[in-house]
Chain A
Amino acid sequence: MNPAWNPRILWQRFVAPIDIPLLVIAAILLLIALAMVGSASPERINNQLINIGFALVVMRIVAQVPPQRLMNLALPIFIVGVLLLVGVALFGDISKGARRWLNLGFVRVQPSEIMKIAMPLMLAWYFEKREARLRLSDYLAAAILLLIPTALIARQPDLGTAILVFAAGFYVIFLAGLPWKIIVGTAIAAAGAMPLAWGMLHDYQRARILTLLDPQTDPLGKGFHIIQSTIAIGSGGILGKGWGQGTQVQLEFIPERHTDFIFSVLSEEFGLLGNIVLLVIYALLIGRGMMIAAQAPTLFSRLLAGSITLVFFTYAFVNMGMVSGILPVVGVPLPFVSYGGTALVTLFIGIGVLMSIHRNRMLVQK
């Protein structure tokens, strides 16, 4: 019998690239996601199931791709990504006041989403190439590679994605060993430049930044979201109001409750307990990712795994921070939980990459 047709062998081949701890963690997050979407927007549950199915398929395919292949793809993907971003800036479709989508005739793409993967891929590839003779100028080059796409995305404007793309690239540079002197020096310089930059802004720009920092000044506009989500979280208490019982959510006081503000649904209906569970699961996800990074055989895979893991953290922290009112509201979804296909696929590509790196941890060294 041809072993290719043996179901057991087929199954083994199918599951071989999959990292069980990562899959279990992701599965728990997906269950939470279904419970939350089911409460906040039950009519979207079928769509989300389709999204999840599609994302898992993509994850499995990516997990199959060895890191060496990924490295080869890094430069082309990055170049295509930047070109598409330039294309968006020139010919992009405007929707909801932002220019994010590019119509390629047969398909509409959101190049900033590609950049979330392309950026760490590119920088990890760059540091791998320069590993033996790394100089300070390489950090400068990396910074330029980082800032060009970030600026293009921030201009769309899409602050949330710009932050994530910047974070993804910055983590690579940081993990590659960016000297502390430069990090601290840049931070001080940036802080010093702030008043100068502030002086150069128009009044309306200042007003916008102030609202971003303190939504309470605009209680019926931007502040409404954050005030209502704070009430939802606070009124949830320790045990929550029960699934489907959150008045803030069910009576539609929370805008975007199935997407960016889904954390307030969990907080209101499952309380502090639900939040602790979520935080622990994210911690486990990040811990597993770091473990994979630590065990990775090459600089490229180390940096890539570390960056992807820390981007998961960034998603989670920025989202929960903004919904609970300690960070300004920027459009960042709660990873694996918020409704929406695009973000989910990007996240599971990240999971797939981690799985691939983990599976190939022994191979290259030999």
Chain B
Amino acid sequence: MEFKDPQEGLERFWKRLTVAGSFVLLCFGLLFARIFWLQVIQNNYYTTRAEENRISLVPILPNRGLILDRNGVILARNYSAYTLEIMPARISGNLDAAIDELATVIDIQPKDRKRFRKLLEESKNFESLPIRTRLSDEEVAKFIAQRYRFPGVDIKARLFRQYPFGDFASHLLGYIGRVTDRDLERIAIEDQDANYRGTNHFGKTGLEQHYEFELHGISGFEQVEVDAGGHAVRTLKHTAPIAGDNLILTVDAKLQEIAEQAFGDRRGALVAINPATGGILALVSMPNYDPNLFVDGIGTSDWDAYNSSPDKPMVNRALNGTYPPGSTFKPYMALAALTYGKRRPEQAIADPGYFTFGDYTFRDDKKGGHGMVNMYTSIVQSCDTYYYMLANDLGIDVIANFMRQFGFGQKTGIDLGVDGTSESEGVLPSPEWKKKRFRKPEHQKWYSGETISIGIGQGYNAYTPIQLAQAVAGLANNGVIHRPHLVQAIVDARTGEQKTLEIAPPRAIVLKREHVDIIKHAMIGVNKEGTGARAFAGAGYEAAGKTGTAQVFSLKGGQYKENTVKEELRDHALYIAFAPADKPLIALAVLVENGGFGAQTAAPIARQVLDYYLLGKAANAPAPADKNPGEEAR
């Protein structure tokens, strides 16, 4: 056996041990440097990260403000109901499989799935989305018992918007729906991002849209400590939400109901205004739709039904329908004639039943004509020839300038909707308008012949019913025009305190009072002995009115020729009125699409509305029924 020097071996071992020891120190030094870096130098950053982990800000949605009519009838309210919600981000594995599994416990229809899919596509981030809404108590209990099987699925109590009368006043109320990208833009513009963090619904049309930020309220916040699973462990701070403001409307729900019922199955619009204030008393566009269907996202079949209906229930005819005013234009024409001194009231013309201008012959409705016609009879009997001649004498520029003062062809600025499309401008014909409207030079020229039919409210004339109502209210108010509006007051939901509402100052048209009185006198005559006499026989008040019949034609391309109007399209019936004639409390415009003569269909609707409003007579119209009883707020 050969022996190595044990001392040499030991020294070599000690050397190695020293190397190892140095390595240990080096590694521990490295470790210390890392820990020092994290705990001292980066401490602030990681403290923030830990806090972000720990604390979650949960927005608490404020109650949306109510919408009430002038008498306190609730037109839009909220109720609390349970929804079954899925957080897609928390679902491990296949979402469809998870929903299949869920369907074994809770009834989930194909339409629920479809709606959920749609919501999923539209959803902003990893928010919780409802798969089922309005769960019954039994369903809630059933799910709670099985909840452990469904991570990422939970029951939530949410407030739902409800329109208790269903398809009633829908075009003025509008509706709310899930927040979309477009809504987010509006929220960003209004600098409301923080306030809307937890908000799922947004006003889409009507008052709900226009007053979105008043109705919404201020979101509260709850600072909660959450664990890694996202479950709230405890609440650190609670800031209560502030409920949205209530809207008190100028609208009289009963009047609205009577007006809507008066339409029956007919399509059309009615706008009733308090001439002294511009407050809208009723704003009808028939048919209505049910705004309740939109709140949770409308189902495909309902949507298709509304969209494909030839009655176009989604169109707000009062603001977006543009119609020639027909003979309802005549009182303003007569007023223009007086104002510009082109006619004296007693000055009469001989009406042969037509008016010839160049090669064209413009016919009066009445074959053979009305005989000798002065201003009074021209309105009472609605003589066309008188106005053909008058229009020719006034000229298009004078007509356009005069009518513009009454708001014809301009948006009224009513507090409905927000975007440019919620109200149409209509067309106040003038050479300037034509220049703008058409591109080809040969189309841009104004022909004097075109002025003639303007005088009887035909031709390019196209106005919305709300413009007609605003004009007749202005006339009733002797030329002082208040901007039409629906909201009388915005009220703090808690304190009942009224908030100031910006109301545009009225505009006054320079008119001679005796001229206005002449026109009013003639309009009273319409209902006494003229075209409105049958509809207003036996009324207990004096109403001033004017019937109108508008020929249906297309404005497109401007290739208007009177005798090429499609025959199968019946004329629109119109009626404007105010009452009581001496001290008007209400002014209105009625339009019945394809209703034929205004005297036949439109005037009787106006009669019912005026009867109720002035006499309290409800012509066999029952009170609007709450279509959703028992769903009152829990």
* A338 at the B interface (CB under 8 A): no
CA distance A286 to B28 in the complex (A): 11
Report whether A272 and B229 are in contact in the complex, using a CB–CB cutoff of 8 Å: no
A325 CA to B13 CA, complexed, in Å = 34
Q: Which residues of the other chain, A, contact B20 by a CB distance below 8 angstroms? A: 171, 174-175, 290, 306, 310
B136 at the interface (CB under 8 A from A): no
Q: Which residues in chain A, 265-304, are within 8 Å of chain B measured between CB atoms?
A: 267, 271-272, 275-276, 279, 282-283, 286-287, 290, 293-294, 299, 302
- Among residues 116 to 159 in chain A, which have CB atoms less than 8 Å away from a CB atom of chain B? 131-133
B14 A294 Cβ-Cβ under 8 A: yes
Asked if B28 and A324 sit within 8 Å, CB to CB, the answer is no
Cβ contact within 8 Å between B28 and A279 = yes
B28 touches A234 (CB 8 A): no
Interface-forming stretch among B32-40, B198-206, B307-315, B474-482?
B32-40
CB distance from B230 to the nearest CB of A (A): 10
CB–CB B2/A133 < 8 A: yes
User: Contacts A275-B35, A324-B35 known; A235 to B50 CB distance under 8 Å?
Assistant: yes
| B11-43 vs A, Cβ < 8 Å mask (1 yes, 0 no) | 011101100110011011011101110111011
Count how many chain B residues have C-beta atoms less than 8 Å from C-beta atoms of the other chain: 41
B227 at the interface (CB under 8 A from A): yes
B38 x A234 contact (CB < 8 A): yes
Contact of B40 among A237, A248, A306 (CB under 8 A): A237
Known A248-B50, A251-B226, A251-B227; contact A317-B27, beta-carbon cutoff 8 A: yes
The residue on A at minimum CB distance from B16 is A175
Bound: A47/B24 CA distance, A: 32
Cα of A248 to Cα of B34 in the assembled complex, Å: 19
Please tell me if B54 contacts chain A, counting CB pairs below 8 Å: yes
Contacts of A228 on B, CB cut-off 8 Å? 53, 228
Known: A171-B20, A294-B17. A233 touches B228 (CB 8 A): no
In whole angstroms, how far apart are the Cα atoms of A48 and B565 in the complex?
Answer: 96
Is B9 part of the contact surface with A, judged by Cβ < 8 Å? yes
Q: Across the two chains, which residue of chain B brings its CB closest to A309?
A: B20
Minimum C-beta distance from B6 to chain A (A): 9
| A293 to B10 alpha-carbon distance, docked (Å) | 11
Is B53's CB under 8 angstroms from A175's CB?
no
- B628 on the interface (CB 8 Å rule)? no
Which single residue of chain B is at the shortest CB-CB distance from A286?
B24
Report whether A321 and B31 are in contact in the complex, using a CB–CB cutoff of 8 Å. yes
A275 to B53, CA, bound (A): 23
Among B17, B27, B50, contact of A175 (Cβ-Cβ < 8 Å):
B17
A253, CB-defined interface residue at 8 Å: yes
Contact (Cβ within 8 A) B54 A247: yes
- B3: interface (CB < 8 Å): yes
**Contact string, A326-363, partner B, CB cutoff 8 A, digits 1/0?**
10000000000000000000000000000000000000
A231 touches B21 (CB 8 A): no
Asked if A299 contacts B9 (CB within 8 A), the reply is yes
Assembled-state Cα–Cα distance A306/B21 (Å): 10
Shortest Cβ distance from residue A228 to the other chain B in the assembled complex, whole angstroms: 8
Do the beta carbons of A238 and B228 come within 8 Å of each other?
A: no
Measured in the bound complex, the distance between the Cα atoms of B28 and A293 in whole Å is 20
Residue of B nearest to A326 (CB): B34
B360 within 8 A of A: no
Given A251-B54, A302-B13, A317-B28, A237 and B4 contact (CB-CB distance below 8 Å): no
Within 8 A of B (CB), among A165-212: 171, 174-175, 177
Distance in angstroms from A319 CB to nearest chain B CB is: 10
Candidates B31, B43, B228; contact of A237 at CB < 8 Å: B43
Query: Quick check: A279 and B50 within 8 Å, CB to CB?
Result: no
A131, B53: Cα distance in complex, Å: 58
Q: Is A37 an interface residue (CB 8 A)?
A: no
- Report the Cα distance A124→B54, complex, angstroms: 51
Choose among B28, B34, B35, B225 the residue that contacts A283 (Cβ–Cβ < 8 A): B28
CB-CB contacts below 8 Å: B31-71 with A: 31-32, 34-36, 38-40, 42-43, 45-47, 49-51, 53-54
Q: Which residues from chain B contact A324 at a C-beta distance below 8 Å?
A: 31, 34-35, 38
User: B97 near A: Cβ within 8 Å?
Assistant: no
Interface centre among B25, B38, B45, B47 (most CB of A within 10 A): B38
Asked if A253 and B16 sit within 8 Å, CB to CB, the answer is no
A177 touches B31 (CB 8 A): no
Closest Cβ of chain A: how far from B3's Cβ, in Å?
7
B569 in contact (CB, < 8 A): no
Partner of B16 from A174, A238, A271, A325 at Cβ < 8 Å: A174
Closest chain A residue, CB of each to CB of B46? A234
If A230-B46, A235-B50 touch, does A131 touch B9 (CB 8 Å cutoff)?
A: yes
Residues of B within 8 A of A306 (CB): 13, 16-17, 20
Q: Is the CB of A235 within 8 A of B228?
A: no
Q: Are B39 and A275 in contact (CB under 8 A)?
A: yes
A residues in contact with B4, CB < 8 Å: 131-132
- Whether the pair B49, A231 counts as a contact (CB closer than 8 A) is yes
Identify the closest chain A residue to B4 (Cβ).
Answer: A132
A238-B46 contact, Cβ under 8 Å, with A251-B228, A283-B28, A306-B20? no
**Cβ-defined partner of A234 (8 Å) among B9, B42, B225:** B42
Let me know if B229 and A313 touch, CB within 8 A.
Answer: no
B45 surroundings in chain A (CB, below 8 A) = 234
The residue of chain B having its C-beta at the shortest distance from the C-beta of A227 within the complex is B49
User: Which residue of the partner chain B has the closest CB to A299?
Assistant: B9
Given contacts A247-B53, A326-B34, contact A293 B17 (CB under 8 A): yes
Q: Given A252-B228, A253-B53, A286-B24, do A132 and B43 touch, yes or no (CB 8 Å)? A: no
Q: Are B229 and A252 in contact (CB under 8 A)?
A: yes
* B509 proximity list for chain A (CB < 8 A): none
Does B233 count as interface, using CB distance less than 8 angstroms?
yes
A272 touching B35, Cβ below 8 Å: yes
Chain B: minimal CB distance from A337 (Å): 15
Q: How far is the CB of A41 from chain B (nearest CB, A)?
A: 14
**Please, what's the 1-or-0 string for B576-599, where 1 marks a CB less than 8 Å from any CB in chain A?**
000000000000000000000000
- Minimal Cβ-Cβ distance residue in A for B28: A279
- Cβ-closest 5 pairs across A and B: A234-B46, A235-B50, A234-B38, A251-B227, A235-B46
Sample of 11 A–B contacts (CB below 8 Å): A232-B50, A267-B35, A272-B35, A272-B39, A275-B35, A279-B28, A290-B17, A290-B20, A310-B24, A317-B27, A321-B27
Query: Which chain A residues have a beta carbon within 8 Å of chain B's beta carbons?
Result: 131-133, 171, 174-175, 177, 228, 230-238, 247-248, 251-253, 267, 271-272, 275-276, 279, 282-283, 286-287, 290, 293-294, 299, 302, 306, 310, 313, 317, 320-321, 324-326
Known: A279-B28, A317-B28. 12 other contacts (CB 8 A): A230-B46, A233-B39, A235-B50, A251-B53, A282-B28, A286-B21, A294-B13, A302-B13, A306-B20, A313-B27, A324-B31, A326-B30
